[in-house]
Amino acid sequence: MQSSQSLKILLDMMREDLKTKLNSSIGGMPNTGGAVDDSISHAIETLREGLLDKFELVAKADYEAQVALLENMRAQLKDLEERLAALEQAQTS
């Protein structure tokens, strides 16, 4: 689930950037930094969950098994096509 980890890293970077910008804009106001950070964290976590819910994720092992099966089927198809072409060639001769 590499994409999930990449999304988390991206959202963490956005969270830190927003926190830095908001803290600099409200710098003199007491006790607001923590509340702003909590609000940002909650909003970004909700966004992340919403984005991940849109994807149908599968285990890497399952994906790799399907890729191997597909490659095997392609090889078999290529072999059958070559055999068919050879039979057609022999029949026309």
CA 13 from chain center: how many Å? 17
Its domain, for residue 4, covers 1-57
Give the number of other CB atoms < 10 A from CB of residue 8. Answer: 15
Tell whether 49 and 68 lie within a shared domain.
no
Tell whether 32 and 11 lie within a shared domain.
yes
State the Cα–Cα distance between residues 11 and 82, nearest whole angstrom. Answer: 51
pLDDT tens readout for residues 15-43: 777 777 766 666 555 555 567 677 777 88
| Per-residue buried b or exposed e for 26-38, using 16+ beta carbons within 10 Å of the residue's own CB | eeeeeeeeeebbe
Tell whether 1 and 29 lie within a shared domain.
yes
Long-range contacts, stretch 10-14, CB < 8 angstroms, 24+ apart: 11/44, 11/45, 11/47, 11/48, 14/44
Tell whether 91 and 53 lie within a shared domain.
no
Tell whether 36 and 66 lie within a shared domain.
no
Tell whether 63 and 48 lie within a shared domain.
no
State the Cα–Cα distance between residues 64 and 87, nearest whole angstrom. Answer: 35
- Mean pLDDT of the 46-64 span: 84
pTM for this one? 0.45
Which carries the bigger pLDDT value, residue 92 or residue 66?
A: 66
